[in-house]
Structure 1
Amino acid sequence: MQDTRSGILLAVAGFATLSIGDAVLKSMAGLWPVTAVAALRFSIGAIALSAMLAYNEGAAGFRPARPWLQVARGVCLAGASLSFFSAIFVMPLAETMAITFLSPVLTALLSGPLLGEKVRQAVWIACLFALVGVALILRPNLAELGWPAVLPLVSAVFFSLMIIANRASTGSGSALAMQAYMALIAAPILILASVGGEVAQIDGLRLSWPSVDVIFRCAFVALTASTAHWLVYLGTTSAGASQIAPASYIQMLVATLLGWWFFGDVPDAITMAGAAIIIGAGLYLWRDGAQKG
């Protein structure tokens, strides 16, 4: 019982820390191109994780099993992160976070064709309700922003594919190695995206030398993200994945409070209803899976 309680508290702390990093990301909107922010954040993470991996496991730690699967994980992480960062730059934090909570439902849905798992009836029910919630949240943003408003949905799809790739790569390395592999693949992709924005001379993606403040913020986001993932990992090992899964929704509460406090973003009633439906769909899916397990 004590381990379960401690594990849940660790997971809650980890998920809350992720939202703090997201708020810092949003504070950089307009200060530096989103592609460059993503590239710097993951470059810092890749360097730090590589150093830790080299210290703990030596050269052997950089020889992953099933390397192409590790590439797929890194590509999905790059796509999910760039989409999410871009969404945070143009949308309220709470609304972006709410739509990305579609990922657990998408993961359960896509695990059928991609992993050969049986898709339960509860998955289809949860997917239907979650999509209704997404539609409610996108309602004002599509009218105001156009297609960029679907970026959180793109991020959720990439994140779901990454989770599925994570499942498929179970046993391919230590927890530290698995994080390092993803960062080492994602960082070069994001650097290329950053350079591509400059070469194509796309407005808003033109490169410039970052201020010291931006560099420190990117480093802070990299540090908090790694710390958060480690806290969630510790929580999972103490309490079990099924116990800590609902703790992820603390991100929505923290994101809403930070968005209101620092950016003046107050979700309207319909947006909150959409978020509640998405979270409810995820909890329903978790509860059904726990009962089946």
Structure 2
Amino acid sequence: MARGLSLGMGTLGFFFAIFLMPLTVAVAISFVAPAIAALLARPLLGERVRPLTWVAVIVAFAGVLVVLRPNVMTLGWPAFLPLLTALGMSLLIISNRASAGQGSALSMQFFVAAVAACLLIVAAILGNASGIAMLHIGQPDWTVIARCFVVAGTGTIGHWMVYVGTTRAGASTIAPATYVQLLASTILGWLLFDNRPDLVTLAGAAVIISAGLLMWWDARRRVNAIRDTDVVDSAV
């Protein structure tokens, strides 16, 4: 249930964010999720936070501030919505760790989607009852329904592939591949919505990605050190 609630919270934050700001900005800020997960891993999972992880977290949040600066002045508090997405995704990462091995990839995906769907349905009903024009459900056009099917299909496949990749190759191995999402969102946002990222957004995104790669490098270094130690012990 925790994984589904986390996914639902992250989804709500992201859809509100891309409604109010360029796609690239929302995606760039959401990439701070691994840093938040590293911080929450200590109180929730009892994992030790290494000094280099603290450095990466500080760097990541510095990048977020760089990206947020112009958007805070323009949008106000809604500019922080991508951070809600990042929090939801970080809790999903932690929940994945806690529930590893409890079921197959398909069964885990089904239960996560079921819980998230319930949360999003309740949110849609409350939004429709709020009287806010942008939250009114109404009768969607067939093109909207078609796009929803595309989002649902690609999202399901993406989450399934991440889960399978994590269980087979390890999170530290596949982590760099997730940053392709930022490149893809930048290109698609430019082509489909004419959202051209400015230099400030690109600079902040580069800082956030650098922090994520620093955490990945540190994790890989620790894994290799443990593997080398095991090899030496087995040889002795």
Quick one: which of 256, 265, 284 aligns to 2:186?
Answer: 256
Q: Does 1:178 align with 2:73?
A: no
Shift of residue 120, structure 1, vs aligned partner: 0.5
Q: What's the CA shift string for 1:194-248, capped at 9, x where partnerless?
A: 1111222122111201111111110111111122233334544564432221011
Aligned 1:9-20 pairs, distance under 5 A: none
Aligned 1:231-246 pairs, distance under 5 A: 231-236=161-166, 239-246=169-176
Match of 1:148 in 2: 78
Unaligned regions of 5+ residues in structure 2, if any?
224-236
Shift of residue 73, structure 1, vs aligned partner: 1.4
Aligned 1:14-29 pairs, distance under 5 A: none
Q: Does 1:188 align with 2:141?
A: no
Q: Does 1:87 align with 2:17?
A: yes
Query: For 2:122 and 2:168, how far apart are their aligned partners in 1?
Result: 39
Match of 2:232 in 1: none
Q: Does 1:96 align with 2:96?
A: no
Q: What's the CA shift string for 1:74-121, capped at 9, x where partnerless?
A: 111110100011111111111111111101111111101110000101
Query: For 2:215 and 2:121, how far apart are their aligned partners in 1?
Result: 37
Match of 1:131 in 2: 61
Query: For 2:111 and 2:161, how far apart are their aligned partners in 1?
Result: 19
Match of 1:199 in 2: 129
The higher-RCO structure (CA 8 Å, 6+ apart) is: 1
Unaligned regions of 5+ residues in structure 1, if any?
1-70
CA contact (8 A) 2:29 2:86 kept: yes
Q: What's the CA shift string for 1:20-64, capped at 9, x where partnerless?
A: xxxxxxxxxxxxxxxxxxxxxxxxxxxxxxxxxxxxxxxxxxxxx
Quick one: which of 105, 115, 121 aligns to 2:51?
Answer: 121
CA contact (8 A) 2:106 2:160 kept: no
Percent identity over the alignment is: 51
Match of 2:197 in 1: 267
Secondary structure in 1 matching 2:132: coil
CA contact (8 A) 2:27 2:182 kept: yes
Query: For 2:39 and 2:52, how far apart are their aligned partners in 1?
Result: 10
With over 3 angstroms needed to count, the CA separation of the structure-2 counterparts of 1:170 and 1:238, relative to structure 1, is closer
Q: How many residues align?
A: 223
Shift of residue 72, structure 1, vs aligned partner: 1.5
With over 3 angstroms needed to count, the CA separation of the structure-2 counterparts of 1:135 and 1:181, relative to structure 1, is same
Q: What's the CA shift string for 1:238-262, capped at 9, x where partnerless?
A: 6443222101111111111111111
Of 166-175 and 110-119, deviating more is 166-175
Shift of residue 167, structure 1, vs aligned partner: 1.0
Query: For 1:234 and 1:77, how far apart are their aligned partners in 2?
Result: 17
Query: For 1:159 and 1:115, how far apart are their aligned partners in 2?
Result: 16
Quick one: which of 264, 267, 277 aligns to 2:207?
Answer: 277
Query: For 2:187 and 2:117, how far apart are their aligned partners in 1?
Result: 30
CA contact (8 A) 2:105 2:164 kept: no
Aligned 1:208-219 pairs, distance under 5 A: 208-219=138-149
Q: TM-score, normalised by structure 2?
A: 0.90
